[in-house]
Structure 1
Amino acid sequence: MLVIGVTGGIGAGKSSVSAILKELGAIVIDADLIARQVVEPYKPAWLEIKEAFGEDFLLDDNSLDRKRLADEVFLSKEKKHILEKIIHKEVLAVIKEKLAAMREYGYKGTVVLDVPIPVKEGFLDAADKVWVVVSDDEIRIKRLMKRRNMSREDAEARMSSQLTQDEYKALAHEVIVNNGSKEELEKNVKELYNRLLADFEAAYS
């Protein structure tokens, strides 16, 4: 089983790369999706967040008030750390469980770990190769303004709250520059993936 970790800053195109790999036959484990699932009402992460932040951060249906929570942690590094620690622990457990199940089943294909925050445990130490997706800052800002309806100020703030692109690059086996068209990205990803598959098969044949 080949495990590729795909990461990168917001607006760089990480999810686009994962989607291309999915079209090529890989199974994608999406950490963002898991993070939304583990905070559903009455799940362990939800209980911990309620305990740490209080019931003021719940909506009428007991789901998390995501916007209010995001605003709260944006203003406090300490609270951001608390929230991330709670969620990461649960996301990590799910990722480990999924990978273990696939290995036990004898899956021989490719698994993609689509992870926005490249933590060591469960991502860097689980991936055979780490691909980092980068884009020019101005391109990222325009994508966020268009696709997520953010203001320029919000986009810049979200970007600055993450690792710098150089910090992401330092973790990479491969860096994918996504400044062009969707077709260019597809071509680059397919070439890189085919090369990796050939190397992987040669190493284990």
Structure 2
Amino acid sequence: MQKAGYKYMKVLGITGQVGAGKSTILAYLEEKYRAKVIQADQVGHLVMEPDTSCYKQICSLFGEQILAADQKIDRKKLGAIVFADQEKLAMLNAIVHPAVKEYIRTAVYLEKQKACVPFVVVEAALLLEEHYDEICDEIWYIYVDDAARRVRLKQSRGYSDRKIDDILKNQQKDSVFRKSCQFVVDNSSDFVENTFEQMDRGLKEHGFL
């Protein structure tokens, strides 16, 4: 395959709290810069497909009660079990998280070999906890103030105040993100162009372009 000249392709990690607008930013990076975007949540679905190692381990652990009619894992059934039992959730995460990380590590390697995109973007809520700094050159934090986040979660997902309260209570603290990330993008504004300008500036200043 003809290489496009992206010899020093960097890997950008994107993280942030629920409702921060990460999807909008990923779409922008993909559309404007033709970046390769890899989302951990989507990879999580792939590694749990039938005949994978994860699938077999999860079925062995939880039994056929978690399977749908097509023999795929029913994520709602599985979720109902693990979110009511922290020990089982930890056991599930111990199977899925390493598999997701290895899949992403391989995907990044292959993109670097092809050298057909300017940079790779990896997005996950747990980039910090799962030590994705081993894969990413930098990790950027998408910040949104709690008031704006509350409004967006109500409008886009229909969440109740109680559910939002639970989310805010259980999220990683803002100070942890700021301490651990190399760049902070404030996505609190109603004008998304403000966010895009910050992304453009950051990409240039941090050597992704």
> TM class by shorter-chain length?
0.7 to 0.9
Count residues with an aligned counterpart.
199
Distance across 2 between alignment mates of 1:74 and 1:170:
29
Superposed, which structure 2 residues align to 1:96-115 within 5 Å?
96-107=105-116, 109-115=118-124
Matches within 5 A, 1:1-205: 1-23=9-31, 24-107=33-116, 109-119=118-128, 123-181=132-190, 182-197=192-207
**Aligned partners of 2:204, 2:198: CA distance in 1, in Å?**
10
Q: Displacement of 1:122 after TM fit? A: 6.4
Label 1:190 to 1:144 Cα distance change in 2 as closer, same or farther (>3 A): same
Say which SS state the counterpart of residue 7 (structure 1) adopts. strand
Moved more, 102-111 or 12-21: 102-111
Instruction: Give the CA RMSD over aligned residues.
Output: 2.2
2:6 counterpart residue number: none
Over 3 Å counting, the alpha-carbon distance change for 1:122 and 1:105 in structure 2 is: farther
Measured in 2, the distance between the counterparts of 1:101 and 1:8 equals 26
Q: Which structure shows the bigger proportion of residues in helix conformation?
A: 1
The change in CA–CA distance for 1:80 and 1:163 in structure 2 (over 3 A counts) is: farther
TM (normalized to structure 2)? 0.84
Question: CA 1:157 to 1:41, structure 2 compared with 1: closer, same or farther past 3 Å?
Answer: farther
SS of the counterpart of 1:176?
Answer: strand
Tell whether the 8 Å contact from 1:95 to 1:122 is kept in structure 2 after alignment. Answer: no
Amino acid at match of 1:137: D
- CA shift, 1:119, in A, is 4.5
Q: CA deviation at 1:130?
A: 0.9
For residues 20 and 108 of structure 1, do their structure 2 counterparts lie closer, same or farther at Cα, with a shift above 3 Å needed? closer
Q: 1:158 to 1:54 in 2, by over 3 A?
A: farther
Q: Which runs of 5+ in 2 are unaligned?
A: 1-8
Q: Is the 8 A contact 1:92 1:122 kept in 2?
A: no
Q: Which has the higher mean CA deviation after the structures are superposed, 68-77 or 87-96? A: 68-77
